[in-house]
Amino acid sequence: MTTPEPTAEHRWLHQLLGNWSWTTEAVPGHDHPTMTGKEEGRSIGDIWVELAGDMGDHGPTRMTLGFNPATGRFLGNWVGGMMTHMWVYDGALSADGTTLVLEATGPAWEGTGTSLYRDVVQVIGPDERTLKAYVQVADGSWTQFMTTRYRREKV
């Protein structure tokens, strides 16, 4: 097997590398405390990016993201020390190249079963990005439940 050449999509993910501080705020109406933390974005070769975070009392988190040229889709996963579910992502980049929309199935927000979730990563500039989290509700619409704002730490 030969090592694949990185594509523009792989290079897009490299914007997430480095040390970041973040603040998460719940959208009004959702019971989610404001939290702060740190995250380190590391490269796994030229193809994958790992975002290693710490949510304090909730424990560590890990997100791995990549791009599959064969399918033309972004893929990845997210795990956190506060839950037993592994979130498996499938996603696409917006036409303007600023926003990565990732979808995953996870435990239902309310009740039993599963729901579809959407994490929207928007790069605002070289030192700033956001992640907005949504859940699809029974009528098929999307409800935002939190926003995380990231700022690159100066070295």
For residue 116, what is the domain's CATH number?
A: 2.40.128.20
Closest-CA residue to 123 (of 145, 94, 103, 82): 94
pLDDT value for 29:
66
Which domain covers residue 19, as residue numbers?
8-152
Structural domain total, the chain = 1
Alpha carbon distance 96, 102 (integer Å): 16
- Residue 92 has a pLDDT of 98
- In degrees and rounded to multiples of 5, residue 20 shows phi and psi of -130, 150
Q: What share of the chain is helix, strand, coil (3-state, %, to 5)?
A: 10, 60, 35
Asked whether residue 95 is assigned to any structural domain, the reply reads: yes
In a domain, 1, yes or no: no
Residue 83 within any structural domain of the chain: yes
Q: Output the pLDDT for position 30.
A: 61
Could you tell me which residue, 109 or 53, shows the higher pLDDT? 53
Comparison of pLDDT for 106 and 29, the residue scoring more: 106
Compute the distance between CA of residue 23 and CA of residue 148 in angstroms, rounded to an integer. 5
In a domain, 2, yes or no: no
| pTM greater than the 0.75 cutoff | yes
Residue 29 belongs to some domain of the structure:
yes
Q: What is the mean pLDDT of residues 67-93?
A: 96
- Report CA Rg, the chain: 16
Per-residue pLDDT for 116 more than 90?
Answer: yes
Tokens of 107: 């435990």
* Confidence tier at 14 by pLDDT (50, 70, 90): very high
